[in-house]
Each structure stands twice: as structure tokens, then as C-alpha cells.
Structure 1
Amino acid sequence: MGAGAAEGDVDELPDPNRGPNPEGDWTSHRGGPGHARYIPDGHEFDGGELEAAWSLEGAGAGFVAVADDTVYTATDDGVVALDAADGTVRWESADIEAGTPSVAGESVYLSGTEVVALDRSDGSVRWESEFDPEEEIVWQTVAYGGVYAVVDGTLYALEADDGSVRWKKESVGSDDEEYEFFTAPAAANGVIYSVTGAGLIALDPETGAEVWQKGTIDSQPDTVYATSEAVAYPADGSAEWPLRDARTGEFVAVGYGFSEIAFGEEIYVGGGSDHGYGGGSIRGDEYSWSLDVLYTYGQAVISDETVFAYLTRNGGPPNPEWRDYDEHLVALNKYDGSVKWALSKDDAPVGSIRAISGETIYVDNDGDLVALREETDTDSGEDGEENDQSGDSEESDQSDDGEDGEENDQSGDSEESDQSDDGEDGEENDQSGDGDSDEQDEHQDGEDDGNTGEDDTDEDECPCPDDDPADSGSGSGSDGGSGSDGGSDDDGGSSSDGESDGDGGGSSGDDGNAGNGDAGDGNAGNETETDADDVPGFTTGAGLLGGALGLEWLRRKAGVDEPTGVNEPSE
């Protein structure tokens, strides 16, 4: 028994009814304390309506956590907290060399050379560990009032409020041998999961007492994922992921994924190498599908009944037929793999998914963090002005609910006016008249399909590059790449799952104001018919890359640059 672990009975654990706290759709760097990139109930996005709400230069490579309308991520300059609505910087904590944020209570926790807790209100340091590790800490898991991390082979449980050691476990014994911990932990079902040379282990979060231990492994994976249904980790340096029952630890299936998989309660999703991109049942064989995109990789997010992934090429012969969804953000039916929609990087600022929270998809677009949302009837203007123009209105409702803030709803032939105050230095205008609106539909439903080789796309069809993209019925698989993080991906690679631990220089934007309009006058409705105005989903302003991203999109629009048999792992 390792140091600090308490012996004794463990009552009714693991318990699927005891979810880790905090709860939310993306409170930690991979979605939640289970790290399985799984959202039980998520928004159903319309890909044809997605546009950039804001972007932050140089912040796309980092892990992201979202809580209480605030986005937390790391940049080259430290850690930033952004307003989820418009991307303005709420605070920046410089010189914090840590990433993988997790939010709980009044703190945001990160790992790097140490584990650090920052105050969510201003980014000040609440506490920092003093491990002085030989190797960088992969990530921390925050759950059950504790912060759990593997440091140089020892699993630590720290108190979330002050960082003191609740318990530590240096090793576990099996067959008269002692094994250190390999993997950064995951939390679900009232337990903490990790992996040693003796196999997968479940521990009581309060005491460190061993609940069960299953299997033996030859490799040293550094990640483990968990939901209420299953626990998975990469095995033996391959693309195979043994899936075990989350309550008993018994083997149930093998998932396949180049570098990683995502899974929920029923289905896992992964891909890469020469077996396409696909999904399968965690239990039984009810679901098995494969998308015909050989040598294609994408970090999936399973949200409700949809799989979201940004697919990119990952080696293999340069056969154009296999490039159907290269550099596309796709939405797939998780049960059969059929394509709901696909959005090309040529048409929108898409990229690897960093988070999905509420009605926003956060992606890494060429190193910039971009918030994608479905387009709305109102466009943001300078200093918080929002304009909604329509025709022949007879009523004007002007409200002003705070200091120096005005909201105007102006229409022709107005007979009534009601004013109140509703924001600080923010104006919202709703103007209508008899003229035609200059707004254009900035998403493209059949035009410019991302140069995938398809011609004459029907405007009513989704921007899918293939009339029949789903190839269901065949199981997905992968025999290339590293099971832990041997594969390179579009994210740059890290010790955990191919993502970068908060790299990329972040900027706070121009002046903290979202959407400055075309001429900087805050009137988003007064658009001019220029090429820049036709860029889908882009505005200029604080925290936005309107100029740089817009030029890049125009450049692209102009045409510049174009395993055999799976055996159950031994117990």
C-alpha cells in the first residue's frame, strides 16, 4: 500500500449517481473532471449559421475552460480570463507558466511546473504547490473538493481551498512489486481513476483507499478518461483504447483512436491511420460506423446525439478522394456517422475544437482562439452598440438602465417613446425605416464548398463535400500512431493528448469593445458593399482579428494557396 493511503472498507463506490463537482458543460480543460470530451445535453448547432463572434490572437493553442460566462485559457504571456460574450479581457495574470485550466468555486486551477490556484475575480495567486518536479505535471483534476495530480510517479490529493496535502499515494503493489503512477487522473462515479504498471485503479477521493485495480499494462500512458459508464486509457503504444466498466473495472470493449478518443454513455469516437474515422458501441455491437476519410484525424466532442470534430489529414498517400473533409468542422450523427453539416476552413474560421459551452464552439484557427456562434439578427458595434434595422415600425422603445448607457429602438413615424438606463457606456440601437436592409447572408449553403472537388452544389444542401459521406456498417479502427500521444495533430502536440498546454501569445484586443463596425462608428447596420464586408462572421474591435482573419479569408477565396483481431487485455 502506498504512503498516505488509508485501508478499510469503501462504501458503495464507484457510484454513477455521484458525479464530480463542479458540474457544467466545459468547466475543465477537456470538458469536465472525466476528460472524455463529452457533454450529455448540448446545443444543436446549425453549421450554415455559424460565424465568428470574437477572436483572440495567439490564444488558440491552449486548453480552455468556461464557467459563469467567463473563458479561461493560457497564452505565452500568462493566463487570461475573457468575457464569453465579446472576448474582452477581464484580467490577465502574467508570468504564470501553467495551462490546463479547471474551474471550481472561486478559483481556477492550472498545472505546469507546479499546480497553481488563481482567484477567479482578478487572477491573483491563491496558492501554489512546491513539488519542484523533475517532469512537468500533465494536468490536474478538480473534483470532490480536491485537486488531484500525478507528480513524478506519485498521486497527490490536495485540498482545493489551500493546496495542503489531503493524501498521497507513491505506488501500488501487485505480485510483490510496487508500481508508480503513470497517468494524470480523471474523476467520475465518486472515485479517482489513474493507471500504474499494475493496471487501471480506482481510489476513494477522500482517503486514497483502493476501490479496485484491474489489468496489467506494458506501456506508460499519461492520460485516462472516464464517464459514468466507462473508463479508457491508451494501451501498449498503439491506437487501441481498452474500455472498462466504470463501476467494476471489468473489460467491456476496445476503442480505436489515433492519439485519443471521445466517449459518453453509449458510443466512443476516434480515428486516424488507414481505417477512417468512426465510432462504435461501448457495450455490444449495436453501433458501428466509419466515415470514408482515410488518414484523417480529429479530436471529437460528443454533445447529446451529435459528434463535432475538426478533421484534418494525417499522413497517407496524397489521394484527393481521401481529402473529402480535410480542414472541415463536421457534425455527425453519433449513432450512424451520417453528416449533418460540414463547414470548410475556406468558408469560415474553423479549427480544432477547444471547448463547446452553451451556444458557442471555441476553436483554434491558425493559432487564434475563435468563438463561433450562430448568426443573430443584431450585430455588435463600437462601445457596445447593437443595431437592429427593419422597416415601417411605428413604435420606439428607448431604454437606458445604467451609467452613460443608451438603448434606442428607433423607427419611422414613431408615436411612443419609453426611456430607461441599462448598461455602462453601452448603447443599443434598434433602427427601422422604409429602406431595404443592407445586411447579407454571410454563411454559404452551397457556394464555395471548400474546394473539395464537388461541383454544382445545391444551395439547399449542407456544404458537405460528398453526396453520400457516411459509410456505415463497418467498424472503425486504427493501427497507426501512439496510443498515448504518439500522433501528431493540428494542435501541435503535448504530453497529454496532442494539444498544447496553453501556448501562443495572447492579446487583450484593441480597446475592449466588441464589434467596431465598418467605419468604427458603431453602426453595424451601415455596411458598405466591399469585399471585407463579405467575410463570413467577421467584425473588427476589441479582442477581434477582423483585419488579419478577414484578409486571410479573402486570400483563400481568391484562390491563393490552395488492427487485425483485438484480444482482451490481460488481467
Structure 2
Amino acid sequence: MKRRDFVFVTLAAPAVAAFSGVLNGCGGSGSAEKPTSRGRGRFRMVFVWPERKSRLVPAASRALKVTLARGDGTIVGTRTIVFDDPQTSTVMFDDLVPGTVTLTATAYPLADGTGAAQATGAVSTAIEANQTTSVTLTMGSTIDRIEITPPNPTVAVGARLLLTATPKDAAGNVILCLASSFSWTTGSAAIAAPFPDGGQVINAEGAAVGAAGFTVTERESGKSGSATVTVTAGDTEGCVPGPVTGTGGPANAPWPMSGHDNAQTNRGGAGGATGVLKWIAPLEGASFDSAVIAADGTLYISGGNGDPRTVYALNTADGTRRRVLTDLGRFPLLGSNGLIYASNGLALIAADPQTGTRRWSLSGAVFAVIGADDTVYTSASLQNAQGTLVNTLLGVDGLTGATKWSLSGVAMGGSLGRDGTVYGLSAAGGLVAADGRCGTIKWTFQPAAGIFIVSGPSVGEDGTLYVRTTAAASADPRLYAVNPDGTEKWNVSTGRASSPPSLGVDGTLYGLAQEGKVTAYDPAGGAEKWSFTPPGARSSAFGTPSIASDGTVYFSAGRVEGGTPRSTLYALNGATGDLKWSFLVPDRASTQFISPVIGSDGTVYLSDDDGSRVIAVR
């Protein structure tokens, strides 16, 4: 393929031992100027950004670093031009000694002239007295190749698979480009087609069994990448809806995922904690998620250096670090297949929890749950047939990342039924039940007009679903119980909350309102069994209570004391609501936003998003 270069033209006019020029590739013009000292020269460059006709500087560039050096390599000077669209910049090199000079220009994605270089070029010329000098500087793109991920893409007929184009230089550095500079083509649209045909991230839509070659081209550099998309019959081709079976799912571990399990019961771990501090492990940044605990006693928690993509692996025995996994993400989930899944805000990532090595990533996807057949269920904002971005529920192969099916207009609700039914939320604020094998809708439940479901469901042993709602026209938050067939069972008024209730072994529901009040509800009709409000000044709480195997209910509430945020962990008798003990978290703390996690030895773990630490209480 013919290479496209970014061309800059410098012009000079007569002057005494002077050199003056203009980089016309960005647009602009120049004129001769007398040198400041007799017998020396001046080099003047004018940059006009952007040059609308050609945009010969990469459109995603934000700075151009220009260096002038003598023939012996001595640097005469360096200038950094920051592109503020639009603008005109002038760079001057003065008092130049006649002789050979080399001009080097490099385009960068960051305004301070850093990041992976996007284009670069150099030209040498001789500065001679009383001469007119013309110089052309050609900048070539640093893009060496375009990689398409996932590699060896496979998609089922009728399904979509997200493909991402990543430009890299020869050293493997990612080169920043505008998303609009990518175009996709295929010669086998009857088998699979890109949708849309432009952008850095697109969908490969499977139409018929076979193989289709996809090519993506970054227009400014002219570089291309290719991949063969294999379209299979897949599980949805002639798919018969039914229960999802298998030996997969969340890992057999003390606390493998947020909410403990696919039913979001928030129940697990041993009882027996007495409210004594075990250890405190500092993090380099705030953590906004509950931890997960693996079978080997490793606790994984996101947060660090202000970057939620960092995941710390801690030893639950003493809080020491076993390893740090970078560029992973939030909401970690441990699968029984040995992988860890997390979202970095841009993609759902599957990785090896021992090394952090990626197996696959799914652009745009968020938190996930995993079914018995190792299907990962998540959602992403994707374009529908009309080109509008909408939430889309996805069933994805947990080992390869290939999309099995998609359901437009539905967001992930965060829970699965015991038969593999996937529960999601509609744009209208309703609850949607989808078949886990095929992605077809089984039923929808919409509360009364003006009432919106604000939480995914927790699922009882009998299949009853429990969701929180809010009303647009009134302050009347409610707890709804929905039968497995999508009909309403009952609803009761509650305090404000955005998390589903936890479920005790006997089916009792434990809800936590934002004012810190815990209420136990009878699952038969929603009648209140008991309630507990933290003593003293008004408290706040936003997580979900966690239930130990002995029925103890743990939750964290916070308040501001003397201008300092403080948090307290409470342990309640699940049968009566009586306070068993409380633990005041040392120093400044905010643990009330995140649900506690319970280990196999009964230790309770708190995530502190204010103090940037993990607290273990035994």
C-alpha cells in the first residue's frame, strides 16, 4: 500500500547570512527577516493550525516539538508548539552561525509534548550568507501496524462481536488517533459485515456460516490491518430456550463476586467475629468497590494511585500484598474457570489473576456475572439498527470473549436465576427476564406508571425477585417482590435505597436505607420483622447488609463528627435485630458506601474510599 506522508514546506527569502522559513504543511506563509547580529542568521517558522484542506499534521495531535541542531549534533534550541484549535504560532531561532543545521519535527498527542510520537521527520540544510534557501520537511506517520482485537474473532449467526482497531508503532506503543479516522471494509458482507463501517470500535455482525475478511484502515497514515471473522451457527442458531447447566459459574470461594453470588444474596462466609481489629492494609488510592476473596485466601480489591484499573491482591491472613495487577478494572469477578473479570471503564477484561495477563477484552462493557456454562453476561452501549446508542445485554463466551447473543435496549441487572435466567433493566425502568441460552425475552415487569426500578434484583430460593423502586413524582421508595413468571407478588414502602435487599438463610430480607436504618422483612408479604437505627447523630449508609452463615447481619454506617467523616461497622442478630457489637473504624474513614465482605474464618473486610485502605475486623 502506498505510504502517505505528512509534508511541511519551509521557504526562505534573501537576507544576509539569514535563514527564514514557514512550515506550510499546517498552512501559513513566511517572510525574510534580517539577523540580529551581522554574519549570523535567523530561522523563523509560522504555524497555522489546523490547515483545513489537508490536515497534514495528525488530527489527534496536540503538540509539535521542533528541534534545530548543528551538523555536529549540538542542539541549537527546542520549541514546543501547542495546538489550540485554531491558532497561529511563530517559532524563532536567532543568532545562527552559518553552517549545516538539521530541523526535526515530531507530533505528540499531549500538550506537553509527551506520549507516543504520532509523526516525525527531519531535514538537513546549509545556512549560507547571502543565499536564499528552500527546505521541504516530510513527516511520516509512526504507525507501523493496525491490530484488530480480539484475535481470531468468532461470532455466531445473528449475533454481534465488538472489534477494536489499535494502531501501534514499531516498538508496540499505542498511537493515539481520532476514532473518525478509521474505516472498515469486507469483501464478504453476506457472511459478516462491519456495523457501523467507521470508528475505532465496531460490531462484526454474523449473517451466515463462513469466513469474512475484515480490513480496517487509518486514513491519515494509510496503514491497514486485517482479520478473518469466522461465523458459526452458534448456540442461537435454532436455539431452544431452556435452563443453563454446567459446572462453571463463580469460583468456589468465600466471596467470589460483588453480592457474593449470582442471586445477589450477599450471604456467605462464617460467623463468629467479635469486633476486634485484625489489620489495616493501605492502598495508594481510594477504593469504591467491595473486595472479592479467592479460595487460596487472596483478597482482590480495585483502586490505587487514583486509578481504579489497579487491582491489589492481598493476603487475608495479615493484609500484606501478594501482587499488584495493573490495567484491569473495577467490580472484579472470580470465575471457576480460573479467570478474573473486571471493567476498567472502557472494556470488560478477562485475565489471569496470578499474572494479570489478558485473555480477552470487550469494549464498552461493564460489570458482569457468569453462568453455569461459563457464559459471561454483561451489557454495553452499542448502536442499534437505527444508529442510536442503546444499552445492550450480551451473552459472551467466558473463555474467548466471543459474543453468543445480544439483546438491544436492556442493561445488565447484575443477577441470574437458578435456571440461568438473566435479569436486566429496560430504558423504561422495568425488569426484563431473558433466556440465558438464547437471549430471548421471557417476560417484562413494569411497576405502576411513574415508578422506576433502580436496582437489579436479588433472587430468593423460590425464584422470587426483590427490587427497589423510586417514583418520579413523589418521595415514595418501595420494595417490590416479583414472582418467577413476572407478576407482582407484593410491594411495601421503604426508606430511600438503591441496592437490593440481602437474603438470609430462612428467606428474610434485610434492607439498608440511606439514613442508616436496617429493616428485616418477611418474604411472604413484606411485613416488617424488626428495624435497627444506629444510635447517636444521624448516619448514612449506601451499601447492602452482608449475612454470615450464623445469621449475623453486618453493615457499615457513617457520620460526620467535628468536620471529620467517621464510620462504624455494626453486627446485628439476624433473628431479633439486637446489636451484638459495633466497631469504630480508626481515624478518618468512609466505609458506608460499600458492602462488607465476609471471609471463611469469619473476618469482616471493609473498603474505605476516604482513607484509601482495607480494614479487617475479627
What TM-score range do you get, normalising by the shorter chain? 0.5 to 0.7
Q: 1:169 to 1:224 in 2, by over 3 A?
A: same
Equivalences for residues 131-530 of structure 1 within 5 A: 131=363, 133=364, 137-144=365-372, 145-152=374-381, 153-170=391-408, 180-190=409-419, 191-196=421-426, 197=428, 199-216=430-447, 218=450, 221=453, 223-229=455-461, 230-237=464-471, 239-246=477-484, 250-254=488-492, 256=494, 257-265=496-504, 266-272=507-513, 276-284=517-525, 287-293=528-534, 296-297=540-541, 299=543, 300-304=545-549, 305-313=551-559, 327-345=567-585, 351-352=591-592, 353-359=595-601, 360-365=603-608, 366-374=610-618
Given that 1:183 and 1:222 are in contact with CA atoms closer than 8 Å, whether structure 2 keeps it comes out as: no
Deviation per CA, 1:86-142: give whole Å up to 9, x if none.
Answer: 33333323234x21000012210012211101112211111111x3x4xxx442112
Deviation per CA, 1:380-419: give whole Å up to 9, x if none.
Answer: xxxxxxxxxxxxxxxxxxxxxxxxxxxxxxxxxxxxxxxx
Match of 1:128 in 2: 361
Offset at 1:221?
4.8
Q: 1:246 to 1:344 in 2, by over 3 A?
A: farther
Given that 1:150 and 1:182 are in contact with CA atoms closer than 8 Å, whether structure 2 keeps it comes out as: yes
Distance between the aligned counterparts of 1:189 and 1:327, measured in 2?
Answer: 36
Match of 1:63 in 2: 290
- Larger RCO, structure (CA 8 Å, separation 6 or more): 1
Match of 2:480, as an amino acid? P
Offset at 1:183?
4.1
Offset at 1:169?
1.1
Offset at 1:286?
6.2
Distance between the aligned counterparts of 2:369 and 2:395, measured in 1?
Answer: 9
Equivalences for residues 38-77 of structure 1 within 5 A: 38-39=267-268, 42-47=270-275, 49-52=276-279, 54-68=281-295, 69-75=297-303, 76-77=306-307
Given that 1:262 and 1:302 are in contact with CA atoms closer than 8 Å, whether structure 2 keeps it comes out as: no
Distance between the aligned counterparts of 1:274 and 1:198, measured in 2?
Answer: 24
1:89 aligned to 306, 321, 325, which one?
321
SS of residue matched to 1:34: coil
How many positions carry a matched residue from both structures?
346
Q: 1:141 to 1:250 in 2, by over 3 A?
A: same
Q: 1:347 to 1:326 in 2, by over 3 A?
A: closer
Distance between the aligned counterparts of 1:28 and 1:138, measured in 2?
Answer: 14
Computed over aligned residues only, the root mean square deviation of the Cα atoms, in angstroms, reads 3.7
Distance between the aligned counterparts of 1:140 and 1:369, measured in 2?
Answer: 25
Offset at 1:6?
7.2
Q: 1:195 to 1:312 in 2, by over 3 A?
A: same
Distance between the aligned counterparts of 1:361 and 1:57, measured in 2?
Answer: 21
Offset at 1:199?
3.0
SS of residue matched to 1:335: coil
1:100 aligned to 322, 326, 331, which one?
331
SS of residue matched to 1:235: strand
1:110 aligned onto 2:342: yes
Distance between the aligned counterparts of 2:554 and 2:249, measured in 1?
Answer: 24
SS of residue matched to 1:289: strand
Match of 2:405, as an amino acid? W
Q: 1:162 to 1:219 in 2, by over 3 A?
A: farther
Distance between the aligned counterparts of 1:347 and 1:154, measured in 2?
Answer: 43
Q: 1:327 to 1:83 in 2, by over 3 A?
A: closer
Distance between the aligned counterparts of 1:275 and 1:327, measured in 2?
Answer: 11
My pick for the range that moved more, 185-194 or 362-371, is 362-371
Please say which structure displays the higher CA radius of gyration: 2
**Which residues of structure 1 form unaligned runs of 5+?**
171-179, 319-324, 375-571
Match of 2:319, as an amino acid? G
Q: Which has the higher strand share?
A: 2
Q: 1:169 to 1:370 in 2, by over 3 A?
A: same
Q: 1:273 to 1:163 in 2, by over 3 A?
A: closer
Equivalences for residues 525-564 of structure 1 within 5 A: none
Q: 1:163 to 1:273 in 2, by over 3 A?
A: closer
Distance between the aligned counterparts of 2:516 and 2:298, measured in 1?
Answer: 39
Instruction: Percent identity, please.
Output: 20
Distance between the aligned counterparts of 1:148 and 1:185, measured in 2?
Answer: 8
Given that 2:287 and 2:613 are in contact with CA atoms closer than 8 Å, whether structure 1 keeps it comes out as: yes
Given that 1:329 and 1:350 are in contact with CA atoms closer than 8 Å, whether structure 2 keeps it comes out as: no
Distance between the aligned counterparts of 1:162 and 1:119, measured in 2?
Answer: 13
Distance between the aligned counterparts of 1:357 and 1:249, measured in 2?
Answer: 36
Given that 1:183 and 1:195 are in contact with CA atoms closer than 8 Å, whether structure 2 keeps it comes out as: yes
